[in-house]
């Protein structure tokens, strides 16, 4: 049984993703299969939540498209996810940001977390 697990680990490549949490602005590049063609589509928005542990971990991303809110749930370790790009780290005080669904305009904005650089401290 250990040999099977070892071969499975070698064949399934563990992708490295940036550390992100609820409130961060990310772009998820994922594969779309249409017939025999394959293309990569991007989904840029704010992370509403992360849930689960291990290989069943999922995260929800919300964006506004033509004035309509669109949410998409992604499995983190899906083979269809090509890459995740972190744009902004949000400053939020909770792990689930469902209150953003009822908001629009300026009240739906998430403040950016200020980064302290090591060279600025010295």
pLDDT for the residue 2: 79
pLDDT in tens, 25-49: 999 999 999 999 999 999 999 999 9
More confident site: 62 or 3:
62
Residues 6 or more apart in contact with residue 93 via CB below 8 angstroms: none
Assign 115 a pLDDT band (cuts: 50, 70, 90).
confident
Whether the predicted pLDDT of 59 surpasses 80: yes
Alpha-carbon 55 to chain mean position: 15
DSSP structure string for 24-76: -EEEEEEEEEETTEEEEEEEEEEEEEEE--GGG-EEEEEEEETTEEEEEEEET
Residues 6 or more apart in contact with residue 71 via CB below 8 angstroms: 48, 60, 61, 62
Alpha-carbon 52 to chain mean position: 14
Q: How many CB atoms sit inside 10 A of residue 29's CB?
A: 15
Assign 58 a pLDDT band (cuts: 50, 70, 90).
very high
pLDDT for the residue 5: 75
């Amino acid at each position: 049984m250990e040999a099977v697990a070892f071969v499975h680990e070698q064949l399934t490549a563990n992708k490295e993703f940036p550390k992100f949490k609820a409130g961060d602005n990310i772009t998820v590049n994922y594969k779309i299969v249409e017939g025999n063609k394959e293309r990569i589509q991007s989904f840029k928005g704010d992370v509403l939540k992360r849930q689960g542990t291990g290989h069943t971990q999922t995260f929800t991303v919300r964006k506004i498209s033509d004035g309509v809110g669109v949410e998409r749930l992604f499995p983190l370790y899906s083979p269809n996810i090509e890459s995740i790009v972190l744009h902004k780290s949000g400053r939020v005080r909770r792990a689930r940001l469902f209150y953003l669904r009822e908001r629009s305009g300026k009240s739906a904005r998430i403040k950016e977390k200020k980064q302290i650089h090591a060279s600025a401290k010295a």
